């Protein structure tokens, strides 16, 4: 009944990722019997990735190197929903293609929100990478977890698909593989990692993972790379720098001088995604021009036997 048996279990076996040391397993069994208080003790740090990230954290602390604290600033003054180039939002498209995200997932989704005086603004919304993440708090098996770098990841090898995290996320930023997601050929060859959730697994939750793997290699996330207007800045709160690929800004000053805000600040989720208010004025958009082009999931034609579903 454990992961070692399921179809994905074989994958886990192959990558060696959700293997548990036998002792840890026994310990957790004992803890289960002992009751609530003991379970916390009994949770083994089983996941190799988790151990990896934790180890990275302690190593950084030991050597005195500072830990990255990834953050994103989205300058709404420059977001016109890709109306000028007459395309579906490029950030979303690039994210879908980079992560081979199943239809209808839009890990970064551009919402068209009404403005008080009429007209609309566009709000590209990735996972907010909350520092007090409701989704992490409620997960019964620790499949959703925070890394020392402050990113919230989902381990699809451990997720049991209870979906309480989807209930808990106040930003509607979590997606479920309701059926068998389309897996393009290239996805099947990719080695799974919680930092790059490919290939998608039926019955588990997925979401934006803030592309820490790209960032570590010195590249910005797919969405930031793809934005034709340079509206998405990505950076490190620790170094206090962020860039949209054209300019590098001092993060704290940039946020303060432009009166940045965060979505649903009142909930206390403490997001790592900041917004600068606007409606695309810097790239010449009129607030009264409405509408986005439809998002496409291009490789669907390649995938056989896959399913798609609505929101």
Partner 1 sequence: MSARRGDPPAAWRARLERRVLAPLARTGWRYRLWILFLVAVVAWAVFAYSRQLGRGLIVTGMRDRISWGLYIASFVFFIGISHAGTLLSAILRVSRATWQMSITRMAEFITVVALLVAGLFPFIDLGRPDRVFNLVRFGRWQSPLLWDIFAITTYLTGSLIYLLIPLVPDFALCRDRLGQEAPRWKRRFFRAAAVGWEGSPGQQWRLHRAMKIMAVLIIPIAVSVHTVVSWIFAMTLRVPFNSTVFGAYFVAGAIYSGIAAIILLMAVLRRVLHLEEYITRTQFVNLGYLLAALSGVMMYFNLSEYVTSGYKMEAGVAFQFRQLMTGSFAPLFWLYAFGGLLAPALVILFRRTRTIPGIITASVLVVVTMWIERYFLVVSGFRVPLMPYAPASYAPTWIEWSVLAGAFALFALIVSVVVKLLPVVSVWEVTEQEEWERPAEVVQERGWAPAAVSPSSGGEP
The stretches of the chain forming alpha helices (DSSP H) are: 7-15, 22-34, 36-42, 48-63, 90-99, 134-138, 164-168, 185-189, 212-216, 222-226, 251-257
Using rule CB under 8 A, residue 302 touches partner 1: no
Q: How far is the CB of 100 from partner 1 (least distance, A)?
A: 18
Distance CA 117, CA 96 (A): 33
Nearer to ligand SF4, 270 or 307 (CB): 270
Q: How far is the CB of 302 from ligand SF4 (least distance, A)?
A: 28
Using rule CB under 8 A, residue 138 touches partner 1: yes
In the chain, what is the straight-line distance between the N-terminal and C-terminal CA atoms, in Å? 31
Q: What is the dihedral of CA 292, 293, 299, 300, to 10 degrees?
A: 90
The one-character DSSP state at 86 is: T
Q: Which of residues 207-266 bind partner 1 (CB under 8 A)?
A: none
* Residue from 13, 14, 21, 43 binding partner 1 (CB under 8 A): 43
Q: Which of residues 116-135 bind partner 1 (CB under 8 A)?
A: 123, 125, 134
Contact stretch for partner 1 (CB under 8 A) within 53-61, 105-113, 184-192, 282-290: 105-113
Q: How far is the CB of 95 from partner 1 (least distance, A)?
A: 16
Under 8 Å between Cβ of 209 and 197: yes
Using rule CB under 8 A, residue 200 touches partner 1: no
Q: How far is the CB of 170 from ligand SF4 (least distance, A)?
A: 6
Using rule CB under 8 A, residue 309 touches partner 1: yes
Using rule CB under 8 A, residue 167 touches partner 1: yes
The stretches of 100-250 forming alpha helices (DSSP H) are: 134-138, 164-168, 185-189, 212-216, 222-226
Nearest alpha-carbon partner for 45 in 28, 64, 63, 62: 28
Contact stretch for partner 1 (CB under 8 A) within 166-174, 189-197, 238-246, 277-285: 166-174
Using rule CB under 8 A, residue 50 touches partner 1: no
User: Binds 128, which of partner 1, ligand SF4, none (CB < 5 to 8 A, cut-off by type)?
Assistant: ligand SF4
155: three-class secondary structure by DSSP: coil
99: three-class secondary structure by DSSP: helix
> Cis omega before residue 199 (within 30°)?
yes
Residues that bind partner 1 (CB under 8 A): 1-3, 5-6, 20, 25, 28-29, 32, 35-37, 39-40, 42-44, 46, 104, 109, 111-114, 123, 125, 134, 137-143, 158-164, 166-172, 174-180, 202-205, 267, 269, 307, 309-311
């Amino acid at each position: 009944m454990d992961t070692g048996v399921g179809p994905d279990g074989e994958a886990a076996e192959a990558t060696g990722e959700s293997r548990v040391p036998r002792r840890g397993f026994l310990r957790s069994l004992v803890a289960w019997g002992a009751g609530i208080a003991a379970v916390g003790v009994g949770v083994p740090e089983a996941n190799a990735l988790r151990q990896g990230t934790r180890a990275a954290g302690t190593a950084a602390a030991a050597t005195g190197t500072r830990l990255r604290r990834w953050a994103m600033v989205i300058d709404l003054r420059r977001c016109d929903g890709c109306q000028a180039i007459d395309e579906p939002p490029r950030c979303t498209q690039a994210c879908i293609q980079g992560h081979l995200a199943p239809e209808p997932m839009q890990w970064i989704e551009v919402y068209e929100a009404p403005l008080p005086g009429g007209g609309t603004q566009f709000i590209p919304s990735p996972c907010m990478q909350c520092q007090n993440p409701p989704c992490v708090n409620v997960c019964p098996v620790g499949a959703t977890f925070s890394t020392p770098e402050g990113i919230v990841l989902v381990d699809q090898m451990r997720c049991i698909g209870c979906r309480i995290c989807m209930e808990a996320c106040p930003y509607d930023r979590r997606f479920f593989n309701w059926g068998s997601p389309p897996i393009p050929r290239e996805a099947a060859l990719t080695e799974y990692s919680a930092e790059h959730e490919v290939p998608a697994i039926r019955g588990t939750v997925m979401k934006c993972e803030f592309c820490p793997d790209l960032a570590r290699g010195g590249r910005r996330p797919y969405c930031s790379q793809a934005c034709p207007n340079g509206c998405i800045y990505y950076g490190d709160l620790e170094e206090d720098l962020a860039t949209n690929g054209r300019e590098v800004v001092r993060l704290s000053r940039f946020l303060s001088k432009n009166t940045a805000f965060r979505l649903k600040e009142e909930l206390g989720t403490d997001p790592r995604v900041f917004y600068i208010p606007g409606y695309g004025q810097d790239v010449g958009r009129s607030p009264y021009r409405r509408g986005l082009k439809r998002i496409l999931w291009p490789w669907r034609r390649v995938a056989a036997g896959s399913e798609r579903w609505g929101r």
